[in-house]
Structure 1
Amino acid sequence: MAAVSSAEAQERRSARDLGVVVGVLPTGPLNQITDVDGVRVGHVTVTSGDTINTGVTAVLPHGGNIFQEKVPAAFVVGNGFGKFAGTTQVQELGELESPVVLTCTLCVPRAADAVMTYLLGLPGNENVRSVNPVVAETNDGFLNRIRLRPITETDVLAAIAGADTGPVEQGSVGAGRGTIAFGWKGGIGTASRRLPEELGGWTVGVLVQSNHGGVLAIDGAPVGEALSGSPYGGPRESAPYPRAGMRPRTGGAAGAEPADARWSPQDGSIIMVVATDAPLEHRNLERLARRALLGLGRGGGSMSNGSGDYVIAFSSVPVSRLWDAPRLPNAAMSPIFQAAIEATEEAILNSMFLATTVEGDLGTVEALPLDATLDVLRQHGVVPR
């Protein structure tokens, strides 16, 4: 298995670089979650031939000892068909004491054990006897032979060690290597919003692992329906693969695809990580996390029966300093809510615009065709003709 770059085969560009601007608020300098002061992101991508396509993405609230310098946090469930380790303690105490690690479904236990190794090994934690690793997943079993549980402790520790405050690689990288969104290649995406000073000047950043279904919409334009029809009705409703990006592998005497290659475009999961430098406690962070679900919905995500739609939100202000910071009144939250909605919507778009086509265990998933997407957006006035 080897680490690879998501830029290996195709030149891709972010939504904003192609003129697709969602929302009304300005972005941070990078338009990424790392615009929130102190936040770090690291990836390890794990591949082997056309069988293994998975990885690890780690989000760190700051560069110090997160166990000793806990940050306020909250967790929200949209639809709960998934695994998100460590969330009951986050909700009970309103604190995060671990990196947020994203990976594949069957890799969660191994990743959690590796996060424990990391936390217990930090200087100052020699006498610690309980840690709460926070690990989330989406199922990449179409492109990844997931039963092999192919990530290792080394992969997780390398993603954490490599986490940086600079630009974040997006698309088919890290925990997004094997994911699918709306039937096209999904992945890791990120975006940010920075409020004007008169609205507080706070920054909100979002990182997503997109692997979900629904009918893709971009700034209200029905891109998914235009490109490949709707799984909920119309002439393509009876097709087993109504999404144009899916190319299941065929074989055998009848040339049929494996039974477990059948993928429902309604189902799938998404993990949304929301960070802010606003000094928020658990209650308002939970309110903030719920707004990410609105961003998911604005992009056409439907939180279907078989979907695991989860949001974890944290402030980069450590708990030890939170009570010394100016308290934000509830009335100050509305602009921060808007920032989370917009950043989530754009992060999902970036996860797809920057993803590359990947050939995997049960077939190939093509990257969203950007030229055709832009044609639809021009027809609906989202981008200039």
Structure 2
Amino acid sequence: MYYQLYELNHAMMAPWRAVADHMRLAYSNPLNPLSHTCFGRTMAAGLEVLERATRRYGKPAFGLDTTTVDGQPVSVHEKVVWQRPFCNLVHFERMLPGGHRADPKILMVAPMSGHYATLLRGTVETLLPHAEIYITDWVDARMVPLSDGSFDLDDFIDYIIDMLHALGPDTHVIAVCQPSVPVLAAVAVMEEDSDPLAPASMTLMGGPIDTRVNPTAVNRLAEERPIEWFRDNVIMPVPWPQPGFMRMVYPGFLQLSGFMSMNLDRHLIAHNEFFEHLVKNDGDAAEKHRDFYDEYLAVMDMTAEFYLQTVETVFMRHALPKGEMMHRSRRVDTGAIRNVALLTVEGENDDISGVGQTKAAQTICPNIPDSRRLHYMQPDVGHYGVFNGSRFRREIAPRIVSFIEANRREKRPVPRVIKGGRAGGK
């Protein structure tokens, strides 16, 4: 019922939002004498804040059209090379010059935790000069018809294995936050099966491998309530007329409200400063605010089965570090991982995945040789800073690139232009 009320409220606000946007344009038009006065700028600023506060934010674009390789500008094209109902694998195809050496392939597994994969735009942009990047572009569950079936944690693991098979040998996988657990599980399954297409290395960044270590507010919330509470209070059917009508989901707007409530004072201050920047005509600062919140406020729904299974398996039962996690009636044995190199990265001030939660992967994978494992804790960054921002670019990304280069399995020349092709079908 809450989802229907949310949609109804959004529909009711649509006319007022349109009026606010129209009046904002009128007050900010340079041909309007009031636009050059404090009164006009104040009115335009207030109307823009109102319009943005009531807007539905759609999926942002990656917008990565160029990169720099060996000091030269190179064009980049997005291409879907693998597709399933709940995920598109996007290749950032670089138009490389002839004779360029073969760069490693990186499968970047974006979190399915309410935001779109574009949240990792900065991560992709930083690593793109050094590798062929493929990213999991998860589909908003409310856009997937019921006829396309369900999607749970087991399916997530299967998707990862299928993508690694599609990409072939010498692929390196990077998991950011939530997918650290299913990625580690997928690698364990592949290693136990002696799969020749298991990744050459895996990098786990700010992931909840063992949430018993330094539990955060998010972790404590999951432990304080039974799984029935989550099923009864946060799972809702997708309302009409969305394509996923009647699919049971964990709505993105609920996840967003939870994230914002954790740092509500910061968001209120940010919006107040945004208003002041608009009044002062400080365009650069205002544009930074727009860019951040255009991304942050764009949310997607998750299937109920995936959300509930993740909450129970990862945050309640701590099944992976206990050696009790199952994948389709089969125990996940992280001790089977012997050939895949492991890098774990944490942020000192991470309030989502506490310090030590990701490092726990080093403990539960005892059979990886010491020469092929590394842990790094980045000082003075929170959860977002683990995979984005200036410290990520300066200090974390170079370590990831170096670790991947040190653990490559094959090197061969590449053609003048790397072309991607569809490796899977719906």
TM-score norm. by structure 1 comes to 0.24
Provide the TM-score with structure 2 as the length reference: 0.23
Higher strand share: 1
Per chain length, whose mean CA-contact separation is higher, i.e. which structure has more relative contact order (CA < 8 Å, sep 6+)? Answer: 1
Over alpha carbons, which structure has the higher Rg?
Answer: 2
